[in-house]
Structure 1
Amino acid sequence: MDAVTLDGLSVALRALRLLTTDFGHLPGPDLHVNTIWPGQMELALHDSRLDSLAAFEAWREALGIDPGTVTYGEQGSGSTRVLTACGEFAGATVKLTAFATAPVPAVVGGAG
């Protein structure tokens, strides 16, 4: 099997270029393009740097991803919330993911 060339990543890279032009005002995600899925890019938003759920929604809306396709999950025994959605942009598949720390539940009552 031949290795994927940089030209083989051109669909995702062109889409990335358009994202920077069209949506440069949105919060900056972690970006990932790889040779395993050359027509896909991944945008990941992490809670430690920004309000990742609000940023996820801004990106979802900008990319025109149907809100009904968003999936919710948890990891780390429920300590991290995860939103995921996929859509198409400029011929590339875009996987959008947000990670957010789950709020610590308030303790009601007390030791008696």
Structure 2
Amino acid sequence: MNTTPTPTFGDLAVPLTAVRLLLADFPHLPAVDIRVSTIYPQRLELALHDNLAAFEAWREALGIAPDAVACAELPSVVQLEVLTVFAGATVRLCGYAPPVQRSSGAAGTDGTGLYPWEVAV
């Protein structure tokens, strides 16, 4: 028999409060997919699809350093992911986009050919 209490809507107060504050502080930012779950009741997940510039806008607004972003580049998708804390909630910011065909200086705006979160080796 399962003795774990059933989560209540109130158990999601921390991430839902973070959503309210994000809306108040950043109404001009691009819309995101928002996910709150009883599995991780302190977490707020924000996902952006096919728009890495929108991911960058959110990253900057949340004060996340570019080098904190993890990047996974697969044949069909680039996935960016980072965790931060906002208003007491753990925020998981994710961005998904098709891979970019690279040529010298194409990815970044600084002429390096790198995305803002990549480091030259």
Q: Which range, TM-score by smaller chain?
A: 0.7 to 0.9
Paired residue for 1:59? 58
* Equivalent residue in structure 2 for 1:95, among 72, 76, 92: 92
Dislocated runs of 4+, deviation >4 Å = none
Paired residue for 2:37? 34
- Scaled by the length of structure 2, the TM-score of the pair is 0.78
Q: Percent identity?
A: 50
Paired residue for 2:72? 73
Q: Which has the higher strand share?
A: 1
CA–CA distance in 1 between the matches of 2:91 and 2:47?
Answer: 10
- Scaled by the length of structure 1, the TM-score of the pair is 0.84
Paired residue for 1:43? 46
Contiguous gaps of at least 5 residues in structure 2: 104-121
Contiguous gaps of at least 5 residues in structure 1: 107-112
Q: Which has the higher contact order (CA 8 A, sep 6+)?
A: 1
CA–CA distance in 2 between the matches of 1:97 and 1:18?
Answer: 19
Say yes or no: does 1:22 pair with 2:25.
Answer: yes
